[in-house]
Structure 1
Amino acid sequence: MGAVCCRDSSIDFTEEVRLAHFDLLRCVGKGAFGKVRIVQHKANKQNYALKYINKEKCIRMKAIDNIIQERRILEEIKFPLICNLRYAFQDDENMFMVLDLMLGGDLRFHVDRKGSLSEEVIRLWAAEIIVSLHYLHSKRFVHRDIKPDNVLLDSQGHAHLTDFNIAVRIKPGKKLTSVAGSLAYMAPEILQRMGYTFSVDWWSTGVLLYEMLFGQRPFRAKSNDELARLILQKPITFPDKPVMGGPVSDACKEVLLGLCERNIHKRLGFGESNYRKLINHRWFEGINWDQVARKEIKPLFVPDAKHSNFDATHELEELLMEDTPLRVNNRSKNPKPLSTEMQKIENEFTNYDHTRTALSNDNQLTDIDPPPLTTPSLVAAICIIVPPQVMPRKVTGANYLPVPLLVVDPPWYPPTPRWTLSLPPSPAVFTTRGETPVP
């Protein structure tokens, strides 16, 4: 589905980029701070992913600093295996980031559909994530939220990192102390609150690969406290039963254990010597790492081009439940006085055009806390009659229970649920595969 914003003949493409420069196509995603839809640039006919964040909602969630920081970080990084920023701009209501479009869906979508995938398929994805992290860390950025939801496949099946919402730059000799990330993928040193650096991304990568290989995470519990205790203490074990993706080799298991090593000085990937041990490990024998970074190795898994690799519910929500659907709005010529928060957005969420804009000052990139969460109450249910061919999964049964988001102190960042219905002002959150959103 698409919507034509305005006539091409009325647009001056030499002016600063704005929403009118794009045709709005289908809605394909929703995160904690905004929505994602496919757009096409009217001049070059290139398709992109448009991430847009409502300013008022951002202010209510106390997430202004996170969004501005994400936009600044994306301006600083350019890598073939990262969803790169192409444009950024704002109107009176929203902030917009235009990113590389990945039509293959995220790894969460595929592991939910298949249960697990073969070791050979995952080996290339692991290599691609590894070189992406090495690039990020070389720029002194730590991602802090590596998980299947934040790894996107392109149409050929290459894995790309995305969602730098809580990423930060670490100054030499400094450590981070904020409790940030998704608890199930969070490294022990974050929970210990004794300071951490790049090591946390390697632990999360190990948990992600374990989940892709075995269809479950290495640590599972019924409460956040119990899950945190297991992350801190429980040895990594492997399922006895065969997995759907086939047998998992001892070499692969060695990599998983090395990434999920609690002693950060021995953790594979962390530090130059451990990074060399990781890329020279026997599981990666025969891998040409330069070819990995250039996306020259053909993936064994190619997303189905004939079917959508996104949940159809995102577009249904946009059609049926959105009070203010996205549309082109010209900036006010006589704006009202702005609040302090709105003025901050106006001043700091600056326009960006990858064809003409120079890099920003990296000294502006600092450690900031993740935004606090609010607790939605589960007060209503909606029945929508939908043709079965557009429903991705049932929303019934023991593994698909509606649950409210929880809030604890300190605030933890929730993983993106696979099914979300925003029911203003009290959103109901539905999770799949037995995953309660973890605060």
Structure 2
Amino acid sequence: MNKSCLDLSEFHTDQYIDIKERLVALEKHLSDPFSDCYVERLLDVVVACVTECTKTVKNVKNENMLAFLQRFLNVAVCLQSYRRKPEDFSFISSLGHGAFGRVQLVREITTGRVCAMKVLKKSRMLAQHTDYWAEKEIMSHGESPWIVQLYYAYQDLKNLYMVMEYVPGGNLVSWMDEVEFMSEAACRFYAAETILALIDLHAMGFIHRDLKPDNLLLDAGGHLKLADFGTAIRVDPETSLIHCDAAVGTPDYLSPEVLLSQGIGGGSYGFEVDWWALGVVIYEMLYGVTPFYSETLVNTYANIMNHANSLKFPENVNVSDACLDFMKKLLCDRTQRLGSQAHCLSEVYNHPWFSIDWIQSQQTDGHLDSMDVSIADWTWSNIRASRAPFQPHLRSETDTSYFQPETDDEDDELMVDGENVVDKDSSNHGRNNGHDSELVDVTNNNNNGKCKDVARGGDFPESSNSDHKYSGRCSDSLLELPGSQLVFAGFSFSSSHPHHLALLNGLHSSPLRGSNLTASASSSDLLKNGDNINNNSNKLGSVQLDKSMNHQLQENKCDNCKNSFLKSNGDVSSINNLLINNENENVMDSNISNHTKCESQLAGLRIQLDDALTLSDTHLNEISSLTVQLEQANARCHELENKLSLQEINFKKIHEEMERQLENVHAEAAKNRSYLEAEIIKWK
């Protein structure tokens, strides 16, 4: 009997440990921003499911969906009201806009940090099949200093929001336009930083597919950061290739294999397309024009396909042989292209253009002035700590002078902080080479990625939150289609950085309102003075009134959010009536089951209490054991201190004895020296 009880006890102990381990693992998944079970992603799913149900019950009365809405509509509304929203950021200025939305400079109200916020309209995302998932994954997972970092991603019913680091130096295009022709030393510097950015991106398993100066941003120190991953796609992990049947990217920077992928059947390519684009970028930095540019897009494509004959290097610009060789090895057939294979990266690092010998030869030939020498003296390991060729002069952390203003269309009118504002600022992330109006063909490409419209000027989103008015050309009717909100479920993200506000990282934890209110007094004080009873009862009453008022305000807030939530999905009254009728039908069943629920909850609480007491006893035993160990350690410490003191005394005695012996030796030596000197004099 005792043995069976012991076995049963061991079984329950093992089961408790197993449950505890599973709960710990679950908590880790919920708090891990990169987990599929991340709490922000699960909240997205809840809100999306409730939203889709509200759209469905407008047309078809479904008892099961009504019951679901009855339970979770208020939950979803309150969850959404507690989550991150556009009002958590204050608008500063507009940075740019494009086909899918707008980028704005904002300040996070809670932390005061200046950020860039990219706002994408969901309706346009659905219409264009653009891949925002890859962009979010690259900026959130990447810890590379060469890639723009994502702080938060969140959404409402109409928009996606990505809050990322602000890179105030503008893009490489504006600097290239300012200097007209970039020195070879400066070009070499930014080519090296672009190489490091591509290596980090490719190590994550992504191809950029739209590498160009427009997407190379400069930070406050003039160093490069790779941006705009709207066309990026993950390669097959086994083959390091992707299959696509459309040319994706900007025309002047497309490689031959990308052009060949157009049409029925498509084609496959890999990281080599980014290395081709790097060759085009280097050429453009040196000569001010892309190598295969023509007045018509057809001729540009023809030049790219016939690159062996059409690639020419103007002789009016002095460029070293090493640089020419590097460009030729990038703008060549994919099988021979430099850097296209992982084992070939050493050829890039060790190319003569990036060697010390190049600096010495250029100095000998007099092609490097003092400024060029200062920006040429770097290594692959310290380049980010070296002085950059371009040094932005910023007046403040909100300086946007390196983002050139342009005139917005009338349908880019925004509502910011409750006022209509027509933004006149946007960054110029592209130059006119005759292809600005030309869009590359676009199709959806399986599950590995996508092919999207990419204008020569790049893509910059347009801002509005769920309450903002927007009169764009793209209709929001796509959001009314079944499952449209489910497409975006799981988009939300919060950086795991300890200084970023995120669920389950502890920074958001704070006492609830009114938690610091105390309306109680000690019993002795109450007995001493009867007046305190009335005073404290008044305080208690005021606290209860405050709590009830706060509860009522919260209910009103949830009701307002609920009405707003329902308005976005159709007729409020019809859905409310359906919910009320369904609620009345379920009242009786609810009352009958309440007693059973309370009993089961009470039993559960008793079990939890027993577990807590058991755990408390375990902790007390551990504390006792640790106390004994601490006492033993203290005793050992005192023993060692005593031994050390004795050794110190002995050492002092030995030291004094050695000093006395040394003095005797010195005296004896002096005596012998005098004797020898006397003998020498005597012999002389």
TM-score by length of 2: 0.45
What residue identity is the alignment partner of 1:342?
S
- 2:320 and 2:87 map into 1 onto residues whose CA distance is 52
User: Which has the larger share of helix?
Assistant: 2
- Say yes or no: does 1:118 pair with 2:183: yes
Structure 1 residue 130: deviation in Å? 0.4
Q: 2:335 aligns with which of 265, 272, 282?
A: 265
Q: 2:382 aligns with which of 291, 295, 305?
A: 291
Deviations 1:263-288 (A, max 9, x none): x2321121133211111112112442
How many residues align? The count is 330
- 2:495 and 2:292 map into 1 onto residues whose CA distance is 42
The residue that corresponds to 1:185 in the other structure is: 253
User: Where do 1:20-31 residues align within 5 Å?
Assistant: 20-31=87-98
Deviations 1:322-368 (A, max 9, x none): 33345575789xxxx9533631344142243443589xxxxxxxxxx
- Relative distance call for 1:357 and 1:251 in structure 2 (3 A) is farther
| Contact 1:52–1:94 (8 Å) recurs in 2 | yes
- 1:124 and 1:170 map into 2 onto residues whose CA distance is 29
What residue identity is the alignment partner of 1:304?
H
| Contact 1:35–1:51 (8 Å) recurs in 2 | yes
Deviations 1:222-281 (A, max 9, x none): 222221111111332111223xxxx3222111111111122x232112113321111111
Structure 1 residue 74: deviation in Å? 2.5
Structure 1 residue 169: deviation in Å? 1.1
- 1:148 and 1:123 map into 2 onto residues whose CA distance is 14
User: Where do 1:369-380 residues align within 5 Å?
Assistant: none
User: Where do 1:160-171 residues align within 5 Å?
Assistant: 160-171=225-236
Structure 2: state its 5+ residue gaps. 1-80, 262-266, 357-377, 418-463, 469-478, 505-684
Percent identity of equivalent pairs: 30
Q: 1:279 aligns with which of 340, 349, 359?
A: 349
| Contact 2:153–2:162 (8 Å) recurs in 1 | yes
What residue identity is the alignment partner of 2:401?
S
The residue that corresponds to 1:88 in the other structure is: 153
- 1:324 and 1:76 map into 2 onto residues whose CA distance is 31
- Say yes or no: does 1:149 pair with 2:214: yes
3-state SS of paired residue (1:116)? coil
Structure 1: state its 5+ residue gaps. 1-13, 359-439
The residue that corresponds to 1:414 in the other structure is: none
- 1:117 and 1:89 map into 2 onto residues whose CA distance is 40
Q: 1:303 aligns with which of 382, 392, 399?
A: 392
User: Where do 1:213-224 residues align within 5 Å?
Assistant: 213-224=286-297
TM-score by length of 1: 0.69
The residue that corresponds to 2:127 in the other structure is: 60
3-state SS of paired residue (1:27)? strand
- Relative distance call for 1:345 and 1:311 in structure 2 (3 A) is farther
| Contact 1:267–1:274 (8 Å) recurs in 2 | no
- 1:326 and 1:122 map into 2 onto residues whose CA distance is 40
User: Where do 1:33-432 residues align within 5 Å?
Assistant: 33-63=100-130, 66-171=131-236, 172-173=238-239, 175-178=241-244, 179-193=247-261, 194-235=267-308, 236-242=311-317, 247-262=318-333, 264-286=334-356, 287-292=378-383, 295-305=384-394, 308-313=401-406, 316-317=407-408, 322-326=412-416, 329=465, 338-340=480-482, 342-355=484-497, 356=502
Structure 1 residue 303: deviation in Å? 2.3
- Say yes or no: does 1:19 pair with 2:86: yes
RMSD of Structure 2 on Structure 1 (CA): 2.6
What residue identity is the alignment partner of 1:22?
F
Select between 132-141 and 14-23 the one with higher mean Cα deviation. Answer: 14-23
- 1:351 and 1:303 map into 2 onto residues whose CA distance is 31
Deviations 1:69-108 (A, max 9, x none): 3223322222101111111111222111111111111112
Which structure has the greater CA radius of gyration?
A: 2
- Relative distance call for 1:68 and 1:272 in structure 2 (3 A) is closer
- 1:269 and 1:34 map into 2 onto residues whose CA distance is 35
